[in-house]
Amino acid sequence: MQPSNFDLFADNEPQQQPRADQIGEQSWVLRGFALPVVDQLLPALENVLEAAPLRSMMTPGGFSMSVGTSSCGALGWITDRSGYRYSSVDPLSGAPWPAMPEAFAELAHSAATQAGFPDFVADSCLINRYIPGAKMSLHQDKDENAYAAPIVSLSLGLPAMFLFGGFARSDKTQRVPLLHGDMVIWGGVDRLRFHGVLPIKQGRHPQLGEQRINLTFRVAG
Ligand code: SIN
Ligand code: FE2
């Protein structure tokens, strides 16, 4: 039996129209959006982490975070006993953070554009590595100088259950499963929504192994 034209189109252009799930008035999950460029992202990520290795940061309250963290771009998000903030240098090396790879910047810009934020130019990319059991408690992203730009987040590796809440920590949360290549964008009226990640389940991803990597692109400065 001949495949229909529709089937042919779907096979030849699998990433032309990835599925977009709306999770808030100005919040979207772009399913598989990054898959066509993952092979460019991974070597670039490796280079960044060679220059600025992942480390377990300390919260202001004195707890060690369960994720391993690094950054690239002009500004990197850091935390230690003196608080949460952005820094233009990596406190481990005293050197500027590695430059944001072109492939990262382009992906973040095109995902933001797809979600209705065409002016997005990230100056910060936070890298979080989750091993099974690691999690991110509910929080708001509010260490940036302004909130006009959205948050643009990429999931790689093991699946995660993302929690997307309201404007108070105690508000009900939606559970949003995130897979390798998915991107979440929230901005505008949704910019300060609480969000977090449930503990990552045991597993092995064919490309990334026993870990999940999240890249969060922001305009911080
Ligand atoms: C974060 O909000 O900092 C991380 C979100 C994620 O890992 O998906
Ligand atoms: Fe966050």
* Nearest ligand, CA 184: 1
In a domain, residue 186? The reply is: yes
In a domain, residue 13? The reply is: no
Q: How many domains, the chain?
A: 1
Separation between Cα atoms, residue 129 and residue 156, nearest integer Å: 10
Q: Which of 56, 34, 180 is nearest to 111 (CA)?
A: 34
In a domain, residue 33? The reply is: yes
The enclosing domain of 162 has a CATH number of 2.60.120.590
What is the best residue among 59, 164, 195 to mutate for testing ligand 1's pocket, by most ligand atoms within 8 Å of CB?
Answer: 195
In a domain, residue 6? The reply is: no
Residue-range definition of the domain harbouring residue 176: 19-218
* Percent of the chain clearing pLDDT 70 (strictly above): 92
Give the per-residue pLDDT at 18: 76
Q: Is the pLDDT of residue 66 over 60?
A: yes
Q: Is the pLDDT of residue 218 over 60?
A: yes
In a domain, residue 25? The reply is: yes
- Residue 160 CA: which ligand 1 atom is closest? 8
In a domain, residue 2? The reply is: no
Digit-coded pLDDT (tens) for 75-115: 999 999 999 999 999 999 999 999 999 999 999 999 999 99
Burial track 176-197 (b if 16+ CB lie within 10 A, e otherwise): bebbbbbbbbbbbebbebbbbb
In a domain, residue 44? The reply is: yes
In a domain, residue 139? The reply is: yes
What is the chain's mean pLDDT, rounded?
Answer: 94
Average pLDDT in the 161-189 region?
Answer: 98
Digit-coded pLDDT (tens) for 1-53: 344 444 444 555 555 567 999 999 999 999 999 999 999 999 999 999 999 99
For residue 55, what is the DSSP state? B
